[in-house]
C-alpha cells in the first residue's frame, strides 16, 4: 500500500522500502524507514475496514503488543494510526528468518536444536499467559529467529484476551493444522493448554518436518478433527530420543486435563530431557549461520554452473577421410552428369572422339 502520494511510496511519515515483507488474510507487512531507522508497517487490507470485529482485533493486537513491551520475545509496537483509509500498525523490524523458512531451507533439526527453540518459545509464553492471553495461532511462519539467537513471536492478531469479549464463544479462529482439538471444535473452554498443544505440534515438526499425526496441508476439516481426537502420535523411524517423543505425546493428549498444564511446567519438563542444553541462544544462532552458509554454497554452485555453460567448448575435429569420401562422391556424380549431357548433345561417336583426343 502507498499513501495518497504514490510516487513517494509513503505510509504516513514512513517511507516504504522495497517489496512487501509478507501478506496474509488480514494485512500486508512492509519494510519502512523513518529518520534512518527501519520499522515494519502492518497495513490492514482495505476491504476489511468495514468489518468491525476485524478492525477491533487489529487494534487489540497493537494493545496486546504494547502490554508485552518488556518481553524481548514479543515484537515491540511503535504506533497505531489510520492512513489513506486503512489502519496501520508500526512495529519493530526483526531481521532473521522464520522457523518455517528454517525448516524449508535447512531440513529437520536435531533434538537439541528443536528443544532450544521450543523452550525459548514456551518461556516467552509464560508471562503472556499470566496476563490472561491465549495466542491461538502459534505456527512456524509466525515465529522469527534473529541473528542473536532470539525467538520472536511475530503475530498475535487472533490472540484471545480472556478479559475481553471480542471473540465470540464457540468460534473457531486460528490455523487448523496447528490447533488443539478443543479449539478446532469451538469449545467454550479454551485456555493456555491450547497453546501447549500447538507447542507440541511445532516441536514434533522441528525434529521430523512432518505433522505429528501424518496430516498434510490438504485435508478435510472433519478428517482433522477425527485425527487429532482419536489417532496416536506417529512414531519416528530411527529416532533414539524416546523420552523426547514421550514428552511430545504428553503435550498432544486430546483432552486438555491430561495435557501438560502450563508453560512453566512445560519448560521444567524440557529441562529434564537428555538433549536439553543451557546454550539455547547459541544453538539457534549457529543454526542460522549454518543455514546462511548452505544458501550461499547453493548460490555459488548455481553461479559456477552458469559460468561453465557459457564457456565455448572446442569443436570436435571432422574426420578428414569421411570428408574426402563425401567430396569424391559429389565429384563423381557431377562427372557422370556432365558426361550424360555431352553424350546427349554430341552423340556417342563424337563423344568418344573427344575422349580419345584427350589421351593422344
Please provide the DSSP assignment of 40-67 as one string: EEEEE-GGGTT-HHHHHHHHHHHHHHHH
User: Whole-angstrom Cα distance, residue 327 to residue 135?
Assistant: 83
Domains, in order of start, for the chain: 10-92 (3.30.200.20), 97-297 (1.10.510.10)
Which of 27-36, 64-73, 249-258, 298-307 shows the lowest per-residue confidence on average (mean pLDDT)?
298-307
Cell output for 315: 569443436
User: Whole-angstrom Cα distance, residue 13 to residue 153?
Assistant: 26
**Burial, 324: exposed, middle or buried (Cβ in 10 Å; 0-12, 13-18, 19+)?**
exposed
Q: What is the pLDDT of residue 242?
A: 94
Sign (positive or negative) of CA dihedral 61, 67, 71, 77: positive
Percent of the chain with pLDDT over 90: 55
Instruction: Count CB atoms within 10 A of the CB of residue 85.
Output: 11
User: Whole-angstrom Cα distance, residue 236 to residue 249?
Assistant: 12
Cell output for 90: 508500526
Model confidence at 5: pLDDT above 60: no
Is residue 223 among the annotated active site residues? no
Sign (positive or negative) of CA dihedral 239, 241, 246, 252: negative
Residues sharing a CB contact under 8 Å with residue 229, sequence separation 6 or more, in sequence order: 181, 254
Q: What is the DSSP letter of 220?
A: -
Which of 37-41, 70-74, 152-156, 260-264 shows the lowest per-residue confidence on average (mean pLDDT)?
152-156
Choose, from 137, 155, 195, 241, the residue flagged as catalytic: 137
What DSSP string runs through 195-211?
Answer: HHHHHHHHHHHHHHSS-
Indicate left, alpha or beta for 335 from its phi (over 0: left) and psi (-120 to 50: alpha).
alpha
Q: What is the pLDDT of residue 356?
A: 60
Comparing 7 with 243, the larger pLDDT belongs to 243
Average pLDDT over residues 39-63: 92
User: Whole-angstrom Cα distance, residue 276 to residue 215?
Assistant: 28
Q: What is the pLDDT of residue 3?
A: 46
Q: What is the pLDDT of residue 147?
A: 94
| 97-98: strand order across its sheet | 97-98, 143-145, 151-153
Which of 254-263, 273-282, 328-337 shows the lowest per-residue confidence on average (mean pLDDT)?
328-337
SS3 content of the chain, % helix, strand, coil (to 5): 50, 15, 35
Sign (positive or negative) of CA dihedral 325, 327, 328, 332: positive
Q: What is the pLDDT of residue 171?
A: 47
Model confidence at 357: pLDDT above 70: no
**Confidence tier at 6 by pLDDT (50, 70, 90):** very low
Question: Each residue of 85-134: pLDDT tens digit?
Answer: 999 999 999 999 999 999 998 889 999 999 999 999 999 999 999 999 99
Q: Find the helix or strand (DSSP H, E) in which 11 lies.
A: strand 10-11
Q: What is the pLDDT of residue 310?
A: 74
Average pLDDT over residues 226-233: 89
Average pLDDT over residues 332-348: 67
**Confidence tier at 48 by pLDDT (50, 70, 90):** very high
Q: What is the pLDDT of residue 167?
A: 44
Question: Each residue of 8-45: pLDDT tens digit?
Answer: 689 999 999 999 998 888 899 999 999 999 999 999 99
Q: In this structure, are residues 207 and 239 in contact, taking their beta carbons and an 8 Å threshold? A: yes
Question: 3-state SS of 124-180?
Answer: HHHHHHHCCEECCCCCHHHEEECCCCCEEECCCCCCEECCCCCCCCCCCCCCHHHCC
* Among candidate residues 210, 216, 248, the one with its CA nearest the CA of residue 232: 248
Model confidence at 286: pLDDT above 50: yes
Amino acid at each position: 500500500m502507498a499513501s495518497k502520494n504514490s510516487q513517494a511510496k509513503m505510509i504516513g511519515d514512513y517511507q516504504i522500502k522495497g517489496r512487501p515483507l509478507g501478506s496474509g488474510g488480514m494485512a500486508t507487512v512492509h519494510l519502512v524507514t523513518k529518520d534512518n531507522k527501519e520499522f515494519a508497517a502492518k497495513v490492514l487490507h482495505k476491504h476489511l475496514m468495514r468489518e468491525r470485529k476485524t478492525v477491533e482485533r487489529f487494534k487489540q493486537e497493537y494493545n496486546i503488543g504494547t502490554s508485552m513491551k518488556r518481553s524481548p520475545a514479543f515484537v515491540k509496537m511503535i504506533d497505531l494510526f489510520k492512513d489513506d483509509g486503512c489502519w496501520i500498525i508500526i512495529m519493530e523490524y526483526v531481521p532473521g528468518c522464520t522457523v518455517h523458512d528454517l525448516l524449508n531451507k535447512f531440513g529437520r533439526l536435531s533434538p537439541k536444536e528443536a528443544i532450544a527453540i521450543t523452550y525459548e518459545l514456551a518461556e516467552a509464553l509464560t508471562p503472556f499467559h499470566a496476563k490472561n492471553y491465549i495466542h491461538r495461532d502459534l505456527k512456524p511462519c509466525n515465529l522469527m529467529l534473529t541473528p542473536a539467537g532470539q525467538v520472536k513471536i511475530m503475530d498475535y492478531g487472533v490472540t484471545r484476551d480472556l478479559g475481553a469479549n471480542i471473540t465470540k464463544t464457540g468460534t473457531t479462529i486460528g490455523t487448523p493444522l496447528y490447533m488443539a482439538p478443543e479449539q478446532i471444535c469451538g469449545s467454550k473452554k479454551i485456555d493456555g493448554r491450547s497453546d501447549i498443544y500447538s507447542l507440541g505440534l511445532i516441536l514434533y515438526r522441528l525434529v521430523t518436518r512432518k505433522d505429528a499425526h501424518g496430516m498434510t496441508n490438504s485435508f478435510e476439516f472433519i478428517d482433522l478433527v477425527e485425527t487429532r481426537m482419536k489417532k496416536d502420535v506417529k512414531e519416528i523411524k530411527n529416532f533414539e530420543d524416546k523420552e523426547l517423543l514421550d514428552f511430545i505425546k504428553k503435550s498432544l493428549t486430546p483432552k486438555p486435563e491430561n495435557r501438560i498444564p502450563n508453560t512453566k511446567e512445560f519448560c521444567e519438563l524440557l529441562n529434564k530431557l537428555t538433549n536439553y542444553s543451557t546454550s539455547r541462544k547459541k544453538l539457534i544462532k549457529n543454526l542460522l549461520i549454518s543455514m546462511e552458509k548452505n544458501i550461499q554454497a547453493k548460490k555459488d554452485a548455481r553461479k559456477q554452473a552458469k559460468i561453465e555453460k557459457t564457456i565455448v567448448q572446442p569443436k570436435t575435429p571432422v574426420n578428414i577421410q569421411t570428408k574426402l569420401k563425401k567430396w569424391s562422391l559429389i565429384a563423381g556424380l557431377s562427372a557422370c552428369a556432365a558426361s550424360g549431357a555431352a553424350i546427349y548433345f554430341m552423340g556417342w561417336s563424337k563423344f568418344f572422339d573427344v575422349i580419345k583426343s584427350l589421351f593422344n
